[in-house]
Amino acid sequence: MWDGVSVRYDVAVIGAGPGGSAAATHLARGGARVVLVDRAARGRDKSCGDGLTPRAMHEFARLGYDPTPYHRTDGLRIVARERQREVRWPERAGFPGCGSVIRRVDLDAGLLDLAIAAGADLRERSEATVVRDDRGRAVGVDTPDGRIGADLVVVAAGAGSPVAASLGATRPRSGVQGLAIRAYAPSTRSTDRHLEASLAVRDAEGRAMPGYGWVFPLGDGSVNIGFGVLSTMRTEGRLNLRNLLGQYAASVRDAWGLGELERSWAWRLPMEVDRRCGPGWVAVGDAAGLVNPCNGEGIDYAMESGRIAAEVFLGEAGPDGTAAAYEAVLAARFDPFFRTARRFAHVIARPRLLDVLLGGAMVSDATMRLVAAVLGNILDDEHPRFAEFSVRAGGAVLGATERLWRRDGDAAAAELV
């Protein structure tokens, strides 16, 4: 028993972002008593690219969240080597052939409303810490309003949060990390139906820039524009993300009819963690390192992992078996692709090799469909096709040759300004 409990719930969820709200919604609908604790007040904006994949749309359908009031996307526009290719989102088993762009503040509010409507209790402006018993099992959380006992603690507080760190859910020293910055800007093309990704960016003098850029149209007269780098990328000196974003914006200003950039947000995205569950607790979303290294997207995986945590807890595993069963599902469903993608992040850190790869990819329809499946987070090993078999083959080759190309440790040192 844990003494001093002021109230008990079946599950305490820390973090009211997409992963936390999805977990709380599915749990409450399944009959669990759920409390959702968040350190911020409703309506706070967060750093995010706002582009949502067909995988996210699939999770919206399972939650009953309606994205139709927001801007729909039909596919990707890939820009590289002075070429552009447009490719539609592939329609795969269970995944619709469309995506969406929704401001993060609006998405968080809508998903939180679903959790509350399902019966979850909300405690906002409340910092939570996980409390463990003398055996190391998570048995609830401490908040400024008192102790909350719970059979399961779901950590959905984001990447690098103190809560996740206290449980060992931290990035390995050699783990891949993303660093990104985004801003909003007026645009004359805000109703464009494609997410645009620039995979080989050059500055005004034609010099290659480390990283990749994006423009995601919001349909309301504005776009989300951003720039990201991977920690594996070799650079000379420190990178200033704000300067990189400014250079990228200048390169696409005429094409997108951009106005002045509004206040920028920068953030780090660890793409793997040492632990994502333990006795009495599970981490979901970014806190579990569930981010696609190829695009930095993790909202869909956050909602999906929140649903998985709920299904496992409500199923035969029960409170005592939830962590092990949850880890088994994640390992089978996500790890093969993420492992390959993290290896690929080391390979594309070499600009010359990346240039060669893009040169072949941009002229191949089959490769463009593979790119759309990877960047749309819609690989499906339960119904494998060309994309899945290609990724498996690539993963096998990269795994067999890893000692030849892998260099551990962060290469890109960037200022998050």
Q: Are 101 and 219 in contact (CB under 8 A)?
A: yes
- Please give the average per-residue pLDDT across 316-334, as a whole number: 94
- Please give the average per-residue pLDDT across 346-354, as a whole number: 69
Please, which residues bridge with residue 226 across strands?
Answer: 182, 214
| Proportion of the chain above pLDDT 90, given as a percent | 58
- Please give the average per-residue pLDDT across 307-323, as a whole number: 95
| Residue 369 CA: distances (Å) to CA of 54, 209, 276 | 14, 26, 32
- Please give the average per-residue pLDDT across 289-299, as a whole number: 90
* 236 exposure class (CB count in 10 Å sphere: 0-12, 13-18, 19+): exposed
Q: What is the pLDDT of residues 185-222, one digit of tens each?
A: 999 999 999 999 998 887 767 777 778 899 999 999 99
The Cα–Cα gap between 180 and 395 comes to 26
**232 or 85, which is more confident?**
85
Q: What is the pLDDT of residue 101?
A: 97
Q: What is the pLDDT of residue 416?
A: 47
Q: What is the pLDDT of residue 384?
A: 61
**59 or 412, which is more confident?**
59
| Residue 320 CA: distances (Å) to CA of 201, 264, 287 | 50, 43, 21
**238 or 325, which is more confident?**
325
CA angle 367, 82, 223 (to 5 degrees): 85
Indicate the average pLDDT of the chain: 87
Q: Is the pLDDT of residue 398 over 70?
A: no
- Please give the average per-residue pLDDT across 133-148, as a whole number: 95
Q: What is the pLDDT of residue 30?
A: 98
* Secondary structure of residue 199 in the 3-state scheme: coil
Q: What is the pLDDT of residues 92-109, one digit of tens each?
A: 777 899 999 999 999 999
| Residue 50 CA: distances (Å) to CA of 71, 73, 88, 170 | 11, 12, 19, 25
- Please give the average per-residue pLDDT across 353-363, as a whole number: 73
Q: Which of 18-22, 265-269, 342-346 has the least mean pLDDT?
A: 342-346
Q: What is the pLDDT of residue 308?
A: 98
Q: What is the pLDDT of residue 394?
A: 66
- Please give the average per-residue pLDDT across 62-77, as a whole number: 96
Q: In sequence order, what E strands does 108-191 have? A: 121-123, 129-132, 138-143, 146-155, 177-186
Q: Is the pLDDT of residue 376 over 60?
A: yes
| Residue 124 CA: distances (Å) to CA of 112, 114, 151, 307 | 11, 16, 21, 22
User: Which two tokens mark 248?
Assistant: 């990228």
Taken in order of first residue, the domains within the chain and their CATH numbers are 5-73+101-172+270-336 (3.50.50.60)
| Residues in CB range of 8: below 8 A, 6 or more apart | 33, 140, 148, 149, 150
Q: Which of 22-26, 67-71, 374-378 has the least mean pLDDT?
A: 374-378
- Please give the average per-residue pLDDT across 103-125, as a whole number: 96
User: Which two tokens mark 402?
Assistant: 């890893």
Kindly report the pTM of this predicted structure: 0.91
* Secondary structure of residue 155 in the 3-state scheme: strand
Q: How many residues does the structure list for the chain?
A: 417
- How many angstroms separate the first and last alpha carbons of the chain? 46
The Cα–Cα gap between 308 and 323 comes to 11
43: confidence class by pLDDT, cuts 50, 70, 90: confident
- Please give the average per-residue pLDDT across 26-44, as a whole number: 94
Q: Are 298 and 290 in contact (CB under 8 A)?
A: yes
Q: What is the pLDDT of residue 367?
A: 81
* C-beta atoms surrounding 102 within 10 Å: 26
> 50-70 as b/e, with b when 16 or more CB fall inside 10 Å?
bbbbbbbbbbbeebebebeeb
- Please give the average per-residue pLDDT across 107-122, as a whole number: 97
The Cα–Cα gap between 186 and 253 comes to 10
Q: Are 283 and 327 in contact (CB under 8 A)?
A: no
